[in-house]
Chain A
């Protein structure tokens, strides 16, 4: 036999893990020994985009596969599902299917769950079934374009294994967000984008949080969502079109990277914070800097980038290494240019 077909099944599963569902299933045609390898790979990955127009085929395929894994008591470590809505009928049937599919995953040792929805209907989202939050094995959860409300978290359990949460364009209110966060005490990575209903969120109970990214967080009135954090554990902060509370004199003792784009911050407070490990700092398009003199206490800085349409007043504490800085001034009117 050839080398690849001779590899142990466990290894072939890992190879197939890195393929799309379509590529993985197609390997069944290679030869007899390949016929059923794909059937037991540890991940499922479905997108109705692969089914040009034939939604019924897509829906029955997903159902068949999930049932097969369950009937054979196999693990689905990762489940990715992308669905699109074309009309309101799709909406109804998709809600029903999610309610049928997600419970099947509950006892399958699910570690990573990515659910995304693409809708051609303006701002149509689906309500997320409450069963998403009962899989205690979950480590990584990504939700795009869903409504998370009181019903969603009705049956929420303590997600002690959840390390990473990513929300994109979801409709979620502060109270619901807070309940979810409170049930995931060990989160290390939090990535929130375009969740416009969030106003003020508090993350100071997340003592393991290392990576935080907040972007596109303007609400309808143009206000930016504010969020409060627990500084010592953080290694990376990325804020883009958002707001972050820096407490006076806070010690960001593990922060390595700070990226601030179009953000509202308490710059005075930032000036009083300590960043003993900070290596990379980037400040871009922050109008609030016009009125303030920023002081950065980051003795280990390696590179600093600034971009904006005015020259800010920024000074650094004594640094220990040679470091790079890159200043880009955009749209600067000749009359506003600083005199040499």
Chain B
């Protein structure tokens, strides 16, 4: 590891579409997947990340640099995360949550998941289907049966006007 040499070590990460990124090791090890590779001594050359594309990796690295620059202050970290995710559309969030899962970054994983959940909160079934493009493959009878089974969850929710 870098500590002995005094200069910060830089790692090179490669996305699945062959883009190369340099990132400080101290920021990159927020990913447990990368940290394990560093600890096992397999981070010498280029680290290939087969499940992450360049666009997503660039975004994840921005997050890694941003969050690791904040000292141990949970509130400041939280407000950084909120700000970082505030302008991301769902497609981007889906890419990020998959990347966070692959890279084993629980803080990013939780933040993105909470952000997606926030969109669904207190929304009607019809609204959620439209928002995420979910196709309703229930027959009307099946849907009525599932609704009946969980009747209590429909109280106080805006009613669906489209089914």
Contacts and interface: CB of A to CB of B under 8 A. Distances in A.
A168 B13 CA distance: 49
A30 B125 contact: yes
Given A15-B117, A19-B117, A29-B125, A2 B152 contact: no
Given A2-B132, A30-B128, A19 B121 contact: yes
B61 interface: no
B38 interface: no
Q: Is the interface of B mostly helix, strand, loop or mixed?
A: helix
Given A2-B133, A3-B91, A17-B113, A61 B152 contact: yes
A17 B136 CA distance: 23
A29 B147 contact: yes
A57 B117 contact: no
Nearest to B125: A29
A5 B136 CA distance: 11
A16 B123 CA distance: 14
A4 B117 contact: no
A50 B150 CA distance: 12
Interface in B59-114: 90-91, 94, 97-98, 101, 109-110, 113-114
Interface residues of B, number: 39
A57 B152 CA distance: 9
29 contacts: A1-B135, A2-B132, A2-B135, A3-B91, A3-B133, A7-B97, A7-B98, A14-B113, A15-B97, A15-B117, A15-B120, A17-B113, A18-B113, A18-B114, A18-B118, A22-B153, A23-B122, A23-B123, A25-B153, A26-B125, A26-B154, A27-B128, A28-B149, A29-B146, A30-B125, A30-B128, A30-B134, A31-B136, A35-B146
A31 B122 CA distance: 18
A30 B125 CA distance: 6
Nearest to B153: A26
A222 interface: no
Nearest to B110: A14
Nearest to A235: B72
B47 interface: no
Given A8-B101, A19-B121, A2 B134 contact: yes
A18 B117 contact: yes
B132 A3 contact: yes
B42 to A, nearest CB: 26
A231 to B, nearest CB: 20
A287 interface: no
Contacts of A32: 137-138, 142
